[in-house]
Structure 1
Amino acid sequence: MTAEFGVLGAVEARIDGRPVDLGHARQRSVLAVLLVEAGRPVTVDQLVDRVWGEDAPQRATGALYSYLSRLRRAVADAGDKVAIERRPAGYVLTADPQSVDLHRFRRLAARARDAESDRSAAELITEALGLWRGEPFAGLDTPWLAATRELLLTERFAAELDHHDVLLRLGRHGELLPSLSAAVAEHPLDERLAEQFMLALYRCGRQADADEQYRRIRRGLADELGSDPGAGLRRLHERILAADPTLALPAGAPARAAAAPTVPAQLPADVRAFTGRGAELAALDRSLAPPEGDEPPLTVVLLSGTAGVGKSALAVRWAHRVREAFPDGQLYVNLRGYDCEQPVAVGDALAGFLTALGVRGPEIPPGVEERAGRYRSELTGRRVLVLLDNASSVEQVRPLLPGTGSCLVLVTSRDALPGMVALHGAERVNLDLLPVADAVGLLRRLIGDRVDREPSVAEDLAAACARLPLALRIAAELAAARADVSLAELVGELSDHRVRLDLLDAGDPRAEVRAVFSWSYQNLPDGAARVFRLLGLHPGDTVHAEAVAALTGTAAGEARRLLGVLVRASLVQAGRGGRYGMHDLLRAYAAELAAAHDPEPERRAALTRLLDHYLAGSAAAMASLYPEPGAPGGDPEAARDWIEAERPTLAAVCTYAAAHGWHRHAIALAGTLFRYLDAGGPVAEAVTVTASAVSAALAVGDRQAQARALSDLGRLHRRQGRLGEAAETYRQALSLYTDLGDRAAEAAALRNLGSVHWRLGDYRRAADHFERARSLHAELGDDAGLADATVRLGLVDARLGDDERATGRFRSALGIHTRLGDRFSEAYVLSLIARISREPADLERATGALELSLAAARRAGDRTAEAYVLTDLAAVLARDGRPAEAADHLRRVVLLHRRIGDRASEAEALNDLGQALGELDAAEDARAQHEQALTLAREIGDRYEEQRARAGLLRAGARRRPTAP
């Protein structure tokens, strides 16, 4: 096992590359303190002071012990590589210091200072600075962490200055200029930094700029500090003015190309309120790394993404950031490849570039080829940045590529332009939608503090704009123009897909979302345009190519080909596993086009084909997972993979079908999927699907389907802990089954309703329902149902303290399950007997049967069954005096129920875990589990688990002062 910890950014831990859940902010603050002091003891008082400061609550020590205990468990998978130990001098995190990014950074920085060569020093410092992911302890805020953060940032700045010195000695002053310029803006009075910047400017042939930089810092020092520059800075300034030859490049370093007589500066103005894109800017920065070899190839970077995603803004922002690295100029042209105007002709673009490079009009050749040749000649040996914005094809770009590796070309395009990568070695940077935080940040910069007054609404506004920068800017302008309208009202208007695109219209073709999208759509061939329109009808967020084939009525291969066209046009995004998606604004635009161009019967036929596809796929998958006796088996792993990949889409499709008139599809799809979703799928998702079936069955008057869906929905409500809703839903199902005369289903509904009353602590009503169900099953000759009802009656007896009667019922049911060959139920009943019995044989028999059931549940991928069997096994192990093994199983059970969303079972498992930990004398941990169980049981109204939690807290000594773990 390998363990890695990070504090140079957000506090994080990884074991074998997998992230570790470190809990809430206060708990992560504890770990941050221990990581900073790795290998050194920290006293309890120091920990409390550093984690809470002066605001420490009275029970801070108890909470600290709980956090330490949880952190121990969080890193337990690392084995003996990592430990949090209590020693007489305090708590110590023992781990390899090099597993903590802070200590690795410090070691690399120290090695760089002692390196034998500048090249080695540069590599070491580059590696050290690469460990930084942002501000230390990001997201955590205590006085001690804030002070330590400032110290660490000072260390980083010192390392950056060392890095500058090394690179200057290596003659890499040209590539340093952008970062030096940005650093000087951030630290305008740092004299060492100013010296580095002045020297780099001078070596790039910019003596006047170096002199201006000196004058700027001299004024700043006088105004801010009332002092003059130091002797070192003054001496460097004098040497620059005197053109001291000793300031020249070190021996062996590459010399800068001669300055061009004309230095073009064609970049458009930088973008106001530019926000985010840190990763993409870093990727672009990497293109500046000096290539190897005496004759490096031309660097071409392709920035691609969908319309309105901010490609041009990012390109211009980066170009301004790095313009100092291109002292021979910056060329820019908007090729208008996707525009309301005609694209720029290649010959015109070349003529414009040649003019900017100082070529007089009469000297510009007439033909495109000749112009391209003269253009390449003019750029030979010159360090120029060429920005080709809004290109539509490789043919539009190729003649504009310089012939020298001293230049860099940045191309933006909605098209993927694969030929640029294949033929010209372009480095691709894909631009996606803004992350939520950056999208809200952009709105904040444009709208102001209204965003902070309505933070959740601001996130909704960002989502309504699909986190698309163009749409966000238009929405911000709309909000500013309607200051009397709240952001919530604006979001409400934008939530209507029918008017959203109308609202996002700034009155300028280049600032209207619909118009900008249209320029991409109009360039599509007919087949791809039809696929794009029909994709707007799909109810889900993503779609597989096979589903697109069904939707469009084409072969799968043709669907993939046409999707490829849409991907290259950045109208559709390709994902993993053959899936495709588009953001909400594009989907709204596509649906709008479909309504305008595709007649209603064709749209309905397309959706019917799609629903048939999902229903057939679901039925085939379920047949493979749960084959009927004697039926040919399929591939269960492939079936499970298909359902897991399609599950969110299937839920959306089911809801859509029920709401738009495909009622039979909704009923059939929900019924087909229920067994899988109930066996470990998210309960909330299963509720969505099943509720759709209820409404669809009601719409068509199918009472049998309605009763079946209500029964399924009641089970889901019970697992969510919504016991009142579960009881009402089961009562509706019972009434329908009684009216329909379906006595078997009526008996099952009685058992279910009884189980809800049992959870609510109403044992009399529970026993009455179970007894009625038992009578019905006996009349029908249904032995399995009879056994189940008998077991439930036994559970009521056990809950009321009549163990002898309960055991008798359990043994009676056991005989039936054994005769029927139901191994799962047999193992469950054996566990119930073992919990009451004191006979070793009962414990041994139950343990063996449950282990077999556990293996079968895991083979089937049934997470619900796995959780239930583990619960039973833990109860038997605890009864057998093995609480440590029981606790291990129960931790897994809690996680399973939490992931599934089975809140009722989670409360029970938390209490079971607390009881097992109490038997292990882990009173603090036991108390924490019972507290969680108590909170959850109160929320869902489970009186029995609430009583168990209270009793557990008393056992754990809830009122005693906590002791150290």
Structure 2
Amino acid sequence: MAAEFGVLGVVEARIDGRPTDVGHTRQRCVLGILLIEAGRPVSVDQLIDRVWGEHAPQRAASALYSYLSRLRRAVADGSDIRILREPGGYLLTVDPQTVDLHRFRALMTLARSTESDAPAADLIEQALGLWRGEPFAGVDTPWMDATRRTLLSEKFAAELDGNDVLLRLGRHGELLPALSAAVAEHPLDERVAGQAMLALYRCGRQADADEQYRRIRRSLAEELGSDPGAPLRQLHERILAADPTLVATTPQKSTKEANPPTQLPADVRAFTGRTHELASLDRLLAPAGGDEPPLTVALLSGTAGVGKSALAVRWAHRVREAFPDGQLYVNLRGYDAEQPVAVADALAGFLTALGVRGPEIPPGVDERAGRYRSELTGRRMLVLLDNASSVEQVRPLLPGTGSCLVLITSRDSLPGMVAVHGAERVNLDLLPVPDAIGLLRKLIGARVDQEPAAAAELAAACARLPLALRIAAELAAERTDVPLAELVAELGDHQGRLDLLDAGGDPRAEVRAVFSWSYQNLPDGAARAFRLLGLHPGETAHVDAVAALTGTAVGETRRLLSVLTRASLVQAGRGGRYGMHDLLRAYAAELATAHDAEPDRRAALTRLFDHYLDGAKAALSSPLSSPLSDNARAWIEAERPNLAAVCAHGAAHGWYQHTITLADTLFGYLDAGGPAAEAVAVTASAVSAARSAGDRQAQARALSHLGRLHRRQGRLPEAVATYRQALTLYADLADPAAEALVLRNLGSVDWRLGDYRQAADHYRRAWTLFESLGDHAGQADALVRLGLVDARLGEEKEAAQRFESALDLYAGLGDRFSEAYVLSLLARLPHRPASLDQAAGDLERSLAAVRRTGDRTAEAYVLSDLAAIDARQGRLTEAATHLRRALVLLRRIGDRASEAEALNDLGQVLRAAGDEAEAGDQHGQALALAEEIGDRYEQARAHDGLDTGRAGRIFAGLRVPTPPQLLMTPSTHSTVTGRPRDRA
């Protein structure tokens, strides 16, 4: 009989494809040791030391003999597999190629000796595909921990070797996501940094490659006091010099083809039956003649737990080759009362997978849906929308092209999808009895045929639902010494008790009995962990978060999760994360309500929310003089959905202070380049929480933050309304400092809307408050803004006076950076002399400072200021370079208003340099963006650059003169100590 063993994950054994019970943690530890040493004897003393370390009990040898005896019985079905007592100790007679670890090592040895890259890449992919998670998951002993670290180092080395091969094959585009994750996990590894730099450079991202080098150079200096080695320094020099030998020898695919998304979940183990349904889906792939066919939509509908998702995933994996441009997947959680996935969030996830960067994702649902349809045009893709609750949740996620196929699963029949969109419905009923018994046979083996009547009763007791059958089978596999008939009788007892408790006709009642059966057989600690995990507001949780939720140590939490995973009550994912089927989540939450007192439930969630709040504070605690470390950034990025879910849950259920503090902690990070929709959602939760708590100061602060987010995203009317609410609150609270900042920000929105008189009024009121507070920096900032209004209205003399007054204030403060910024504004005035060389030097120092802080917003603004001085001094090439770099940053952070301004600036510089075609392209982009956000002045500048004849009318309507053609117009930002003041 064929046997397979695994240690690259949970220690497991399979005989003829069926799982074999290998016992509890220490027994699995013994098996893991023998598998590592396959074919070599291990002494009793070595086994005891490796299993217990320094804390071996007095009867350790007796316990060890008991473990070995049970393991002999467990693997006895494998004809050539024995655990033998040899003179040197115990030996497992097993072919090393049946053990995933030895197979991994053999494949890597072969790959490294292969001269051709293509087969080497295939071998490395096979080797890495054997890994299922952390080796020996759930087994924590000193020896195992050390061995685990060694094996993870082997895996990392294999990944790096694979990266080198793929880079030689020209597959740098598809490598970038994995390389970004590797750089975050190993911030001091020069080899992975070099691979990331090379991939970025080959993808046309020279600036990002340079930033990657500067990041590791800073990290090495801070952590180790050393510089990068010669190979990395030389690679950096070659990148800066655009060395042609760095170009990939194999042509790179186009952007759409380079890294197609492959988001499908893992295929389903032991899938059984559904041949008719699979055939119905197969018919959807039949080619249509003539023009492109209409969009094909398939709908799998049926009751909860009937296997809709399993069937959809199985079929999607079967036909994935028919969709060469990739597969998109989202679990919409449509029947989760607390956390269904918003359409906007689903679209954002798809756009990200399709290569659209966060700041480029539009803020509104309709705009996102339009961009999504545009991105799918011409692509042959499969889109799997799992667990949808309504047509409204699905409709915006439909592509606009017949080259794609959409597969939807839902408990609802969704008649609108059939009537309006012509969806092909495939209804899933309960599994036929033979298929239900066949699934049990695949999962628990020969016992089904030994007790056919009991197996049929078990299938009936599980309502022939695949989810229930799998859970029941896992429990039966754990209790190999108990006859199936006895287990069925036990299940019947649980069913009776549940029937007495539940007479409400809940559709989940059919599977509650199976859930209860499995739950009742859990140890107390695992049962409590299961209940509490149902309270987690996010979709998945890291083991550290589960430890906080349960109040147990991380090692113990891993053990509890391992128990729940083996019982199929939770699913283990990548990176130490765990999730639950939505039915199980609902059942766990019901149990928590029934068995855990409300104070205990609240205490558990408070610990969880404390964990996320402390983690966010720690990740974002770096001083402004240091960039956010890669590890901290990786933690924030991994936990962003949970952090947003915590804010939403906290605002709705009384954790008001957690929500307020977490939103405050996250604001700077999200504002500086995080996903726009998430930043708005988190900040809106803070507004709601502060209002519910009666904390007017926090409410005003959150409203001010929300106004800034609206302004940065070009949603100017929303920004005005939100700022006015904050202003009213601050006035009532008698907080003149905060009131002044909001007035200043309101003036900036007026500026963008072209209402310069209103902007000036707000700036003057802000200046008055700053003066009363003795805030010289605030006064100088208000003067600069008033000068900008004067300059835009053509009042050059008044503008120069205000700028010079601001210069005096900044000089008194010793703020050289802001002085440089004001000098750059004076340089923009057509007839005003200024100390341009001094301004350029100070701005260069300012640029170095903001780069050290990692503040991309300030860096973009300083680059724009430098471009103004370059243009005034006739250095048009340098000005264009600075503006292009600024545009890259502005797009990353989502500052759409400043992006329109910079595009027009670049258009003017290019026209002055004689490049009419490229100048027209920049002005065209500026026009589209300015019209979208409602910035009339930048619309006029774009029309002026395009020579459409409409600029004069818009300038006249705004009551401003036409700006000079060879000079750029004043910016609307202010830099103080290298940072924009309106970040406050």
- Between the two structures, name the one with larger relative contact order (CA 8 Å, sep ≥ 6): 2
Structure 1 or 2, whichever has the larger Rg, is: 1
Give me the TM-score of the superposition, normalised by structure 1: 0.49
Give me the TM-score of the superposition, normalised by structure 2: 0.48
